Amino acid sequence: MTIHEITAPAATFNFAEHLLRLNAERPDKVAFIDDAREMTFGELDSAVKKMASALLYSGIRREERVLLLMHDCNDWPVAFLGALYAGVVPVAVNTLLTAEDYAYMLMHSRSRAVLTSSALVDVLSEALSKVDHDVTQVVVSGGAGSIDGQIDLHEFIASQRPAAECASTSADDAAFWLYSSGSTGRPKGTVHTHANPYWTAELYGKGVLGLRESDVCFSAAKLFFAYGLGNALSFPMSVGATTVLMAGRPTPTAVFDKWKDQRPTIFFGAPTGYAAMLADPQKPSPDQIALRLASSAGEALPSELGEQFTRHYGVEIIDGIGSTEMLHIYLSNVPGSVHYGTTGSPVPGYEIRLVGDDGNAVADGEPGDLYVKGPSAALMYWNNREKSRDTFQGVWTKSGDKYVHNEDGTYTYSGRTDDMLKVSGMYVSPFEVEASLVKHQAVLEAAVIGKEDESGLTKTKAFVVLKPGQVATEAELQAFVKDQLAPYKYPRTIEFIDALPKTATGKIQRFRLRQREQGVE
């Protein structure tokens, strides 16, 4: 399926109304299953429209922002879609941050209200005490809290009539924000339109994954992530599929329980999670689960992990790369044609180019900065013109990743632009060395950084997490890498540690390892 084969959204387009209309003929089918209950598409339709009415009745005006700080549950899509339906802009944020982070996001977005979970009320209360503008309403999902004037979400919408019609938004109107991870400074408020999730659902959810109404989707990545929002909301709702939601952390045990109890057919995870699950002795057997497909994003999937998963379950992992700025995956393997160790080919509807330090296209086999062109690109970073100009360059979006284009048309990840190392005058991809290390039977995870030696030259250093009960020596692992890669790429030193520092999405934070080496905590 290409972009030319898809009907573009009309000039007047509201994404929430679009999803509700698609499912109007299946009111009794289960749309979402959270830790407590099921919700049908008919119940969702009514709740979304009541949420829209309640937001407007409470004084929130069209285009104003509301902070959506909520654990994954059935109330999350009600809150998100209800805001979109009303023309209000939900700002979906990570539930694992600090009060200082939320205070910044509240002030940066000027959010007028907060939709939250009862378990997050205390940290939200602390954040509100630091905010210098009036937050008029706090709506809480799942019980009581300690904030003056707060109201239970179900009480908030109970007395409202469903909105008769949605806000007359355009396809290019700002619909919602997602904050970037902020690994290099303050997180950036990434502004997406009503049309953007439509395109990701059409081009990737349907076009690549081939989602269908009979599927049951389960995403380890939470709804507040761009990856999770597609996996668990826009993709399944675009075809009338069912979504399983889980409020807690996606530990191997928790994921396995959902696999066995709810029988999802498609699972969306990240390399870190797959590694932990495959290393778990309690992993279920293939006959205990119903998976037909698995997806991976967040970081490039090491070939060994993909091959091991397929050997055990007979199911492919479709590895791809996306971003908050592009909303979902734009470069991906496809079912039936998986090339483990690569990120596949451009998703139809997207274009890729690789650019060298001189601004020109690089040759096959040479690493280049990845730029992507496609219909789901964000409008901008809110109130950050410098960063917006640097990232959104005309029709192209700079990804911040380095890739190599292979002769067979696939692309291989070479690391983040600011993570690339130059050793002995030649570029070394940390990911390439890490992927080599994790092929060793004793290694669970690895991270590689550059470290200057006494002469001021950059050498590679690896941090390695071993599997439980396994042992390995530095010399053994160095020799193992030398057997697979060019000799100059092997890690000159290896440090064994208990765990790697990671973002909430599971991405390795190499910059923290660099800070550690410099004595900065």
What pLDDT is attached to residue 184? 46
Sign of CA dihedral 17, 21, 26, 28: positive
Confidence at residue 458, expressed as pLDDT on a 0 to 100 scale:
73
Q: Would you state the structure tokens that stand for residue 312, as one six-digit string?
A: 């055990």
The answer to whether the beta carbons of residues 63 and 31 sit under 8 Å apart is no
Helix (H) or strand (E) holding 402: strand 396-405
Percent of the chain surpassing pLDDT 90? 79
**Phi, then psi, of 168 in degrees rounded to 5:** -80, 70
The pLDDT of residue 151 is 93
What is the tally of helices (H) and strands (E) in the chain?
16, 27
Beta strands in 234-305 (DSSP E): 242-244, 266-269, 293-296
Spell out the alpha helix ranges (H) of 293-443: 303-313, 385-391, 430-437
Q: Which tens digit of pLDDT belongs to each residue from 271-301?
A: 888 988 999 999 999 999 999 999 999 888 8
Nearest in space to 372 (alpha carbons), one of 390, 346, 341, 411:
346
pLDDT, tens only, 262-277 = 999 999 998 888 988 9
CA–CA gap between residue 151 and residue 463 (Å, rounded):
48
Enumerate the H helices of 339-381 as residue ranges.
none
Q: Which residues pair with 219 in a beta bridge?
A: 268
Query: Tens of pLDDT along 193-243?
Result: 999 999 999 999 999 999 999 999 999 999 999 999 999 999 999 999 999
Question: pLDDT below 70 — which residues of the chain?
Answer: 1-4, 144-145, 181-185, 422, 424-427, 454-457, 504-505, 520-521
Angular region, 305: left φ>0, alpha ψ -120 to 50, beta rest: alpha
Could you tell me the two tokens for 96?
């694992």
